[in-house]
């Protein structure tokens, strides 16, 4: 599975990330060690007072050593092994000694003026369920933290969510410090109120921005700072209560710390709910209302938990491991709701964490396991109805049918997952398919590139798109197309990425899309400065296993980066575009000359045949001009054929500038050219021919072996259809060519550098 996370920015950001992950690991390991130690010494009691008479038990947890020893709520432990117990500090060393020696603890207990002795063996099994739940919870918040960190640069909500869930993940990894020293216990006890105050402020700020910023926050700018003042005040007050009670017994249910913590949770839940309700009421777009409503729905279990805690604060059930597990699961529901609301409603993308293929595989696998499980469970019932042998055959046949239906089931699950969880990705794929289908109809490479870059920019919602197509005969040249960027930016991009450059060769050689992050890591010098241009992704254009160009994409306008799934879709799209460009090149090579860029002899003759047929159908006049360069053989013999080729190329370019889009210009052979002019009479054809001759005469060439400028002239013959022309298209075309060639011959005889009309 290939994951591509956004760059976390500076070295400082990466350092903070490493420290954060290290702290989580260390805290969780400390929790495991603490739980292992505590399990060996745990007896399952809560006491509410200590005095000279002994330790008064407030609650005894069923199923643990204290309950098995016969202790009950309200009992008073007065002595152990003949030594009076006046404080918890007297009991702890005795428990440690019993654990170390493996002997039971001898206790003297007073119950309603009746005194009795009992034996208590400390120690229970490690709470693996609690540790696993803690691990899952920490990982869930860690994943959400990393996802939010990916989008933190351009979205305040992402930054707030990152800090909020990051604090919760650290809080959830904290050990309860049953077995650590007083200093560690005090530090952890103070971490809870400080984290509570910070989370309160950040969550109030966060929900005020979902789906959009509350209008009240724009009018009253003091509200947001007030959130953080409230959070800091709560942190200070709760920390003060912790310090006040630190020298006394640990806080019980009726302690000031316990009461204040419950009140803060209630006020916190109400404030967050009211803000979300206000967002739902004021928001008009249904999609945004659904987003806020989903976050509010995720709060409901937490609200119920807080209400139950306030309604039954004295219930001993809160102190059980089952209650702790229930609390952990309830707390997990809210981030799951926020997570789903975020990626489902388009703020971020779940594909930054997992690939779609993994989700498809898991969903399909679960469906298959469910169906085969149902078959296995139904086997006894079917055998009872049909008999053992027929039932077995029927179940076997159904199992084989499931195997045959696996592929259709997989496709159905894929469509269901795409529609339900990845609607935007599905829409992007369909959009790219439509763009590729439209490009298949284009017959010109420049038009295709212009249309492709424009439509791709709109589909991806990015600032600019640039494409470079390598010239086939000159590897150092390229056809360039850019949209959405000014000339200076485009020039800088093409200066860095061009055929023959290190970046171009690296992108084309990788056979898959490259990101700016990857290029910066592999080619730091060459890629330096690309970020200032806004570049983010680079897609090779490959056809027939060879690179023909590169597609460059800017970052998205909403700040999100291209995911691995996006790049895969763009890679498939680029293959279709490259194939179309390659096919166009094959067509161009078969239709147009490489030297002059004009139609080949076969192509121009085919055009003439088509125009003759069209002129007959539409009853239109048709003209042709046959043009030949004067004394061109002398130029070749004197200055060489390479110079002659340059003359032909420049002449063709000069003549093409005077042709209409409806005209067809081709190289008839050697230095001879043929121009087809639809719907043009003799006078119009003469004027066009005169312009062509003047354009050729205006050219000045410099040969390598001569300092003096060299000029070239041309002669032209013009032929036009009339009422006496053949009605057969093939014969009409042959007649026009013959007459134009005869007129050209007369132009040569009359002195060259002139136009002659056919008789």
Would the pLDDT of 750 be above 90?
yes
Give the C-alpha separation, 704 to 652, whole Å: 21
Cβ neighbourhood burial of 711 (10 Å; 0-12, 13-18, 19+): exposed
DSSP string, 658-674: T--TT-EEEEEETTEEE
DSSP state at residue 45: E
Helix (H, G, I), strand (E, B), or coil: what is residue 481?
Answer: strand
83 domain residue, yes or no: yes
Same domain, residue pair 617 and 703: yes
Instruction: Assess if residue 155 is contained within a domain.
Output: yes
Last residue of a domain, one of 95, 120, 145: 120
Domain ends where: 591, 617, 633? 591
Q: What is the mean pLDDT of residues 669-698?
A: 94
Answer whether residue 507 shows pLDDT above 90.
no
Listed residue (641, 638, 607, 637) closest to 622, CA to CA: 607
Of 621, 588, 590, 587, which is closest to residue 736 (Cα–Cα)?
621
Q: What percent of the chain has pLDDT over 70?
A: 84
Q: What is the DSSP string of 53-107?
A: S-EEEEEE-TTSHHHHTT--TT-EEEEETTEE--SHHHHHHHHHHHHHHT-PEEE
Instruction: For residues 262 and 177, state if they share a domain.
Output: yes
pLDDT (0 to 100) of residue 348: 44
Is 577:453 a contact under the CB 8 Å cutoff? no
CATH number for 711? 3.30.70.270
Residue where one domain finishes, among candidates 591, 615, 632: 591
Bridge partner residues of 542 (DSSP)? 547
Both 288 and 196 in one domain: the answer is: yes
The pTM is what? 0.48
Per-residue pLDDT reduced to its tens digit, 305-317: 778 777 776 665 5
C-beta separation of 210 from 295 below 8 A? yes
Q: Does residue 439 belong to any structural domain of this protein?
A: no
Residue 542 has which token pair?
A: 């490959």
Q: Are 516 and 537 contacting, i.e. CB atoms less than 8 angstroms apart?
A: yes
- 553: enclosing H helix or E strand: strand 546-554
20 within a domain of the structure (yes/no): no
Structure confidence at residue 3 (pLDDT): 35
Q: Which region among 48-62, 93-107, 632-646 has the lowest average model confidence (pLDDT)?
A: 48-62
Query: Looking at the structure, do residues 206 and 180 belong to the same domain, yes or no?
Result: yes
What pLDDT shows up at residue 252?
45
Q: Is the separation of the CB atoms in 608 and 676 below 8 Å?
A: yes
- Quick one: 471 and 562 in the same domain? yes
Instruction: Kindly report the CATH number assigned to the domain that includes residue 97.
Output: 2.30.42.10
Residue 345: predicted pLDDT: 53
Is residue 741, in this structure, part of any structural domain at all?
A: yes
- pLDDT at residue 377 in the model: 65
Please give the pLDDT value at position 48: 59
| Sign (positive or negative) of CA dihedral 746, 750, 756, 757 | negative
Are 679 and 703 members of one domain? yes
User: Could you count the other beta carbons within 10 Å of the beta carbon of residue 115?
Assistant: 11
Nearest to 526 by CA among 554, 493, 487: 493
Domain residues for 736?
601-757
| Inter-CA distances, 45 with 96, 266, 321, Å | 16, 28, 13
Q: What is the DSSP string of 252-279?
A: -TTSHHHHHHHHHHHHHHHHHHHHHHHH
Among residues 717, 696, 700, 697, the alpha carbon closest in space to that of 709 is found at 700
253, pLDDT greater than 50? no
Residues 233 and 255 in one domain: yes
Cis amide bond preceding 57, omega within 30: no
Q: How many domains does the chain have?
A: 5
- Cα separation, 88 vs 90, whole angstroms: 5
> What is the rounded distance in angstroms from the CA atom of residue 268 to the CA atom of residue 310?
13
Select the more confidently predicted residue: 683 or 365: 683
**99 and 134 part of one domain:** no
Contact between 668 and 601 (Cβ < 8 Å): yes
Q: Is 37 exposed, middle or buried (0-12, 13-18, 19+ CB in 10 A)?
A: middle
Give whichever of 250-259, 381-390, 491-500, 602-611 has the largest mean pLDDT.
602-611
CATH of the domain at 572: 3.30.450.40
Q: Reply yes or no on whether the pLDDT at 237 is more than 80.
A: yes
Same domain? 330 vs 360: no
3-state SS string for 601-643: HHHHHHHHHHHHHHHHHHCCCEEEEEEEECCHHHHHHHHCHHH
Block residue for tokens 């134009």: 740
Residue 496 lies in a domain: yes
Task: Clarify whether residues 252 and 134 are in a common domain.
Answer: yes
Task: Give the span between the Cα atoms of 48 and 494, in whole angstroms.
Answer: 77
Tell me the two tokens of residue 756: 């002659």
Cα–Cα distance measured from residue 463 to residue 555, given in angstroms and rounded to the nearest whole number: 7
Q: Are both 261 and 147 inside the same structural domain? A: yes
The 10s digit of each residue's pLDDT in 186-236 is 888 888 889 888 988 988 888 888 777 777 877 888 888 999 999 999 999
| Cα dihedral across residues 59, 65, 67, 70: positive or negative | negative
Q: Are residues 677 and 638 in the same domain?
A: yes
Helix (H, G, I), strand (E, B) or coil at 757: strand
Q: Which of 694, 710, 705, 700 is nearest to 754 (CA)?
A: 694
Rounded Cα distance between 615 and 679, Å, is 8
> Helix, strand or coil for residue 701?
strand
pLDDT tens for residues 35-49?
Answer: 888 888 788 777 655
> What single DSSP character describes residue 513?
-
713-747 pLDDT, tens digit each: 999 999 998 867 778 888 889 999 999 999 999 99
Q: Is residue 97 part of a domain?
A: yes
CA distance linking residue 386 with residue 379, whole number of Å: 10
C-alpha distance from residue 182 to each of 179, 185, 247, 273 (Å): 9, 5, 11, 38
Cα separation, 140 vs 131, whole angstroms: 14
Q: Tens of pLDDT along 624-656?
A: 999 999 999 999 888 888 899 999 999 999 999
- What is the secondary structure of 557-590 as a DSSP string? TTSPPPPHHHHHHHHHHHHHHHHHHHHHHHHHHH
**Tokens standing for residue 669:** 């052979």
Whether 561 has a pLDDT exceeding 80, the answer reads: no
Q: Is the residue at 13 inside a domain? A: no
Give, as one character, the DSSP assignment of residue 471: -
Cα–Cα distances (Å) from 697 to 233, 639, 651, in that order, read 89, 19, 9
């Amino acid at each position: 599975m290939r994951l591509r996370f956004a760059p976390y920015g500076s070295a400082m950001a990466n350092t903070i990330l490493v420290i954060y992950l290290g702290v989580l690991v260390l805290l969780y390991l400390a929790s495991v060690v603490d739980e292992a130690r505590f399990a060996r010494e745990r007896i399952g009691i809560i006491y509410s007072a200590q005095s000279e008479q002994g330790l008064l038990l407030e609650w005894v947890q069923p199923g643990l050593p204290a309950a098995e020893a016969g202790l009950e709520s309200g009992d008073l432990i007065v002595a152990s092994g003949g030594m009076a117990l006046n404080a918890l500090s007297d009991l702890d060393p005795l428990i440690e000694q019993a654990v170390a020696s493996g002997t039971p603890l001898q206790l003297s207990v007073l119950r309603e003026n009746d005194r009795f002795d009992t034996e208590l063996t400390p120690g229970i099994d490690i709470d693996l369920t609690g540790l696993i739940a803690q691990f899952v919870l920490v990982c869930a918040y860690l994943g959400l933290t990393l996802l939010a960190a990916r989008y933190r640069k351009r979205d305040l909500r992402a930054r707030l969510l990152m800090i909020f869930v990051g604090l919760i993940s650290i809080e959830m990894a904290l050990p309860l410090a049953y077995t650590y020293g007083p200093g560690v216990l005090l530090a952890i006890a103070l971490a809870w109120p400080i984290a509570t105050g910070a989370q309160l402020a950040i969550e109030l700020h966060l929900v005020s921005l979902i789906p959009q910023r509350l209008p009240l926050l724009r009018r009253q700018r003091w509200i947001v700072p007030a959130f953080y003042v409230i959070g800091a005040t709560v942190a200070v007050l709760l920390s003060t209560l912790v310090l006040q009670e630190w020298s006394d017994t640990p806080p019980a249910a009726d302690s000031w710390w316990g009461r204040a913590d419950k009140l803060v949770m209630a006020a916190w839940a109400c404030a967050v709910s009211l803000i979300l309700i206000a967002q739902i009421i004021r928001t008009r777009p249904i999609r945004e209302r659904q987003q806020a409503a989903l976050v509010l729905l995720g709060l409901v279990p937490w609200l119920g938990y807080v209400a139950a805690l306030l309604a039954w604060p004295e219930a001993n059930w809160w102190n059980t491991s089952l209650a702790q597990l229930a609390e952990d699961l309830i707390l997990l529901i809210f981030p799951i709701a926020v997570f789903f609301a975020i990626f489902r409603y388009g703020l971020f993308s779940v594909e930054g964490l997992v690939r779609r293929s993994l989700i498809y595989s898991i969903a399909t696998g679960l469906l298959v396991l469910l169906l085969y499980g149902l078959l296995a469970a139904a086997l006894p019932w079917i055998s009872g109805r049909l008999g053992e042998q027929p039932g077995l055959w029927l179940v076997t046949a159904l199992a084989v049918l499931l195997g045959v239906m696996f592929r259709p089931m997989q496709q159905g699950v894929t469509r269901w997952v795409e529609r339900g969880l990845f609607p935007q990705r599905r829409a992007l794929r369909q959009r790219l398919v439509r763009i590729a289908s439209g490009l298949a109809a284009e017959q010109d490479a420049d038009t295709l590139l212009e249309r492709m870059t424009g439509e791709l920019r709109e589909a991806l919602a990015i600032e600019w798109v640039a494409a470079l197509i390598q010239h086939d005969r000159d590897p150092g040249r390229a056809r360039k197309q850019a949209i959405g960027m000014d000339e200076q930016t485009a020039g800088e991009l093409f200066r860095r990425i061009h055929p023959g450059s290190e970046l171009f060769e690296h992108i084309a050689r990788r056979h898959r899309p490259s990101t700016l992050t990857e290029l910066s890591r592999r080619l730091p010098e060459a890629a330096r400065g690309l970020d200032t241009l806004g570049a983010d992704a680079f897609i090779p254009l490959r056809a027939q296993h060879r690179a023909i160009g590169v597609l460059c994409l800017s970052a998205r306008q909403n700040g999100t980066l291209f995911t691995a799934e996006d790049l895969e879709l763009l890679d498939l799209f680029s293959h279709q575009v490259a194939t179309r460009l390659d096919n166009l090149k094959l067509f161009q090579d078969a239709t147009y000359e490489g030297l002059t860029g004009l139609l080949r002899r076969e192509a121009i003759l085919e055009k003439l045949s088509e125009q003759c047929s069209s002129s007959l159908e539409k009853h239109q006049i048709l003209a042709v001009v046959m043009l030949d360069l004067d004394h061109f053989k002398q130029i070749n013999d004197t200055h060489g054929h390479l110079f002659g080729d340059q003359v032909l190329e420049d002449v063709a370019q000069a003549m093409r500038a005077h042709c209409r889009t409806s005209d067809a210009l081709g190289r008839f052979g050697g230095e001879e050219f043929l121009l087809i002019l639809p719907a043009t009479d003799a006078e119009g054809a003469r004027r066009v021919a005169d312009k062509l001759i003047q354009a050729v005469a205006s050219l000045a060439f410099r040969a390598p072996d001569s300092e003096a400028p060299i000029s070239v002239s041309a002669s032209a013959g013009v032929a036009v259809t009339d009422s006496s022309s053949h009605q057969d298209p093939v014969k009409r075309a042959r007649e026009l060519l013959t007459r134009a060639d005869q007129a050209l011959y007369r132009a040569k005889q009359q002195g060259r550098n002139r136009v002659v009309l056919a008789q």
